[in-house]
Amino acid sequence: MGRALEQDRHGTLENALASAFNFGRVYGAYLYNADGELLASAGATQPDSQASPAMLEKANREGEAGGEYGYLGGREVYSFFIPLTNSTQQMNGLLQITRRKSEIEAYTQDLRLYGAAGLGALTLVLITITFLGYQRAIAAPLSRLTASMRQVAGGDLDHRTQPTGPREVEQLARTFNAMLERMQQDREEIQERRRSQERLQQELHQAEKMASIGRLSAGVAHELGTPLSVVDGSAQRLLRRSELSAETHGELWRIREQAQRMTQIVEQLLAFGSHPEGSPRPVLVGRLSRAVARNAREALETAGTELQLELPEANLYVHLDPFRGEQMLSHLVNNAIQAAPGGTVRIAWEALANGRVRLTVADSGAGVPADLAPHVFEPFFTTKPPGQGSGLGLAMVHGVVEEHAGRIEIGTSELGGAAFHVELPRAEGTGAEEGSTA
């Protein structure tokens, strides 16, 4: 249109103005010369014969397009002015395109609605993403942690939560697990202390009971010792008389036998009631075992029982008072012989890695019932028929073991009967003892 205006081709100008309506929504198109005079127009409304002075001045000064609101044919419109230039790039005209203001406002309103709708949709999407992210990254781990707390509060103290989620939540879960671990350790320590306290109380009660029984036994033994000596001495003096009948002679011998049996019980009571300090020293286990075996030879032959000795190849010593140690082992062996007549009794020694020595006296008898095992070391407890045992032998054995910082337990033997396991402190032997033993 600028070239057509320069060449004064009015037909071309009118055709160009008419072509503006092909774009739609155009209310009017008007052409002005450089002085602002109307040259041509197209549209339903006839414009003013003079262009807007303000737009004309702006187009001349800046050479840029611009727009403004105004009135045309009694209607409020929006006018857009475009400067036209000739071949020398000088403005030679001004093109005005108009649209109704209502259409512009409607379009603007549509844009606002579309923008608001788009912003709302975007906001909803962001909220949804944020909510889902929160649920997955924070709410879900916190819910799992809360559920774990409820589970622990319900009594499941072994439960541990899974550390997941953001770093802070994961650290909270790890701290929660560490707290549970510490609580578990504290509970175990408290339970162990409670068990230890119960053991100490039981041991104290047992020690007090044994001490009371020991004092009673010693008192009874002293009171019975003298009358029994008188009875036995009187029976022995009567037996020297020649005029006694055979029946009287037999009755006197039975009196002496029972008096001697009662004397043995008194001696056991005295041994149980008194706790000689003794002189613990290194004792060769082989020498001790062979001495006890020699002393038990008559009882073994009478019962038809075989005695097996299992001694270590190297010399092995225990820290023990020899006399009290021989008493302890003799009682264990005699008890095993009585439990396994015609069977087998085994004495075995073994060096342990903890600096102690284990003695095992086992037999092939009937064993000890599980419900009676806790009571076998109590004074006066016996499973033998009346008149065949005082129930003090194993109690004395228990006392000797405790005197030497040892431990005794009862179990089941490979031979089928009972097995008594005694742990005693190991000792280093001397050359003199080793030579004498050989």
Token pair listed for 47:
């414009």
pLDDT score at 357 = 92
pLDDT score at 333 = 92
What Cα–Cα distance (Å) separates residue 272 from each residue in 216, 219, 338, 393, 399? 10, 11, 21, 9, 8
Paired residues of 412 in beta bridges? 418
From first to last of its 438 residues, what are the pLDDT tens digits of the chain?
Answer: 777 777 777 677 777 777 766 666 677 778 888 777 777 777 766 666 666 776 767 767 666 777 777 776 667 778 788 888 777 777 778 887 887 777 777 778 888 899 899 999 999 999 888 888 777 777 777 787 888 888 888 888 788 887 877 778 788 888 888 888 888 888 889 999 998 888 888 777 766 766 666 666 666 666 677 787 888 788 888 888 878 888 888 888 888 888 877 776 666 666 655 555 567 889 999 999 999 999 889 889 999 999 999 988 788 999 988 888 888 898 899 889 988 899 999 999 999 888 899 999 999 988 888 878 777 777 666 666 554 555 667 777 888 888 888 888 888 888 888 999 999 999 887 644 433 332
pLDDT score at 237 = 85
Token pair listed for 337:
């012989």
Cα 110–chain centre separation: 67
pLDDT score at 438 = 29
Answering whether pTM is above 0.85, one says: no
* Phi–psi pair at 355, nearest 5 degrees: 80, 20
Residues 9 and 325: their CA atoms lie apart, in Å, by 145
Geometric angle at alpha carbon 327, from 322 and 328, rounded to 5°: 100
3-state secondary structure the chain: CHHHHHCCCHHHHHHHHHHHHHHCCCCEEEEEECCCEEEEEEECCCCCCECCHHHHHHHHHHCCCEEEEEEECCEEEEEEEEEEECCCCCEEEEEEEEEEHHHHHHHHHHHHHHHHHHHHHHHHHHHHHHHHHHHHHHHHHHHHHHHHHHHHHCCCCCCCCCCCCCHHHHHHHHHHHHHHHHHHHHHHHHHHHHHHHHHHHHHHHHHHHHHHHHHHHHHHHHHHHHHHHHHHHHHHHHHCCCCCCHHHHHHHHHHHHHHHHHHHHHHHHHHHHCCCCCCCEEEEHHHHHHHHHHHCHHHHHHHCCEEEEECCCCCCEEEECHHHHHHHHHHHHHHHHHHCCCCEEEEEEEECCCCEEEEEEEECCCCCCCCCHHHCCCCCCCCCCCCCCCCCHHHHHHHHHHHCCCEEEEEECCCCCEEEEEEEEEECCCHHHHHHHC
> Going from the N-terminus, what domains does the chain have, and what CATH number goes with each?
2-104 (3.30.450.20), 277-437 (3.30.565.10)
